[in-house]
Structure 1
């Protein structure tokens, strides 16, 4: 039993405006796809594949010369503030229908067999021309229109996720947003933070990270002494400019008393000590 076309509206109005332009079955199928788009709040703004929205008037009617190029039907639509391109490409006895969301660069496609989809170019009702019109309308509705809207939503969500600051990941791990500048020794989580590689290189002194590229000759026992202020017993004050890289010339333990120096060979016995004949 043929469908009655209850899932689509205003076929008579669309058909009356294009009846004189119908030349082959592909034209009928494109006109029906246009009708389903109109029922889903799409509005036609002209022909071609331009990605710019000009001052075209949005309309429920197909534009003039919509089927002038039978090798590829290219129509432009607006839905809300988004631009869509409809391309219907005949291939043997089939047509490939592409609906492209220009802003989100997403594409959905469906394929129809023209001979089985369209019975005639003329008829008193939609069912006389497209017997399985409801089935075809549902395929356009769910596999073309609804699918591309879902793809657009997923694309927007992915974009929002990519633009979230990395600091939110550190906060989610219960770590400070700038562990390299935090006071006190770092905890184990801060050391293995996968979002913080290379941070110690940005802070040569390694404050709070245990890293850094500059060796502190004073060590943690002398936090108040800086190389630029001089090192008693080794370098005079001002020998190392403040902030300069400093490679110490000896061990940094400056508080230890210098070891006593003995004359050479002071640990050797006197000459002839083991001479038994002396």
Structure 2
């Protein structure tokens, strides 16, 4: 497991602590871990609401080390977090409060077993910083991790705006005219077209049935003899 230590050296140089102690190096490491999780420092105190006067920073605020117990305020997205810390023997107990839903997470770290030197690189000052980072991920930083996962799930479950989806209207089979309906419509528009070819003598129709412009005139039709004596065609 590799950890990018960018920002650590700058943070240590910015510490205005006199004298610089192991306790303060440890607090600086916890602060640096929160900054790596995208939190921003907004001062000290117990105020749970964000104020217009709050200024975001990646450095520890002035005066944070005046008391044995301290409260550092942080901003993550739109939520305010408060990091509480106090020394108990050779151990510092840290508690991180999410002021949005009042969930907390905590951890306890032995000072002398963790911080070995007050100067040098991070590896020299805290040789077990990789192991310590893993411990913070599973304890103190769980409040941040839960918030990140919750926000990620909320974005995934966001419903799609159906107004943005273009639909192509496909006519149903019932709306498409059948062949029989088409023929009926054509016959309705052209009632006599082709009638004379199929029924030249106009049986069951008027003598004007048939192609327009022609007519058949049957003379001397004898039903008793079943024949036509003379048939004459004339044009209109």
Q: Same fold (TM over 0.5)?
A: yes
Answer whether contact 1:44 1:60 (CA < 8 A) is retained.
Answer: yes
Q: Would the alpha carbon gap of residues 54 and 76 (structure 1) be closer, same or farther in structure 2, given more than 3 Å must change? A: same
**What are the ranges of 5 or more consecutive residues in structure 2 without an aligned counterpart?**
154-236
Correspondence 1:128 to 2:90: no
Counterpart Cα distance in 2 of 1:153 and 1:104: 15
Structure 2 match to 1:59: 57
Question: Please, which of 123, 135, 142 is the counterpart of residue 139 of structure 1?
Answer: 135
Correspondence 1:91 to 2:95: no
Answer whether contact 2:23 2:111 (CA < 8 A) is retained.
Answer: yes
Answer whether contact 2:104 2:143 (CA < 8 A) is retained.
Answer: no
Structure 2 match to 1:104: 101
Matches within 5 A, 1:173-252: none
Answer whether contact 2:107 2:139 (CA < 8 A) is retained.
Answer: yes
Answer whether contact 2:39 2:76 (CA < 8 A) is retained.
Answer: yes
Report the number of matched residues.
Answer: 150
- Deviant stretches of 4+, over 4 Å: 19-22, 151-154
Q: Would the alpha carbon gap of residues 104 and 14 (structure 1) be closer, same or farther in structure 2, given more than 3 Å must change? A: same
Answer whether contact 1:86 1:99 (CA < 8 A) is retained.
Answer: yes
Shift of 1:8: 3.6
Counterpart Cα distance in 2 of 1:114 and 1:57: 30
Offset from partner CA, 1:92-144 (integer Å, 9 cap, x none): 0001110000110101001100110111222x211111111111122222322
Counterpart Cα distance in 1 of 2:51 and 2:45: 13
**What are the ranges of 5 or more consecutive residues in structure 1 without an aligned counterpart?**
158-278
Counterpart Cα distance in 2 of 1:20 and 1:153: 36
Counterpart Cα distance in 1 of 2:138 and 2:59: 23
SS at 1:27 equivalent: helix
Correspondence 1:13 to 2:10: yes
Please identify which structure carries the higher strand content. 2
Counterpart Cα distance in 1 of 2:78 and 2:60: 19
TM-score by length of structure 2 reads 0.58
Matches within 5 A, 1:25-64: 25-55=22-52, 56-64=54-62
SS at 1:6 equivalent: coil
CA-based RMSD: 2.3
Structure 2 match to 1:116: 113
SS at 2:13 equivalent: helix
SS at 2:87 equivalent: strand
Question: Please, which of 68, 71, 74 is the counterpart of residue 74 of structure 1?
Answer: 71
TM-score by length of structure 1 reads 0.50
Counterpart Cα distance in 1 of 2:122 and 2:19: 14
Q: Would the alpha carbon gap of residues 11 and 22 (structure 1) be closer, same or farther in structure 2, given more than 3 Å must change? A: farther
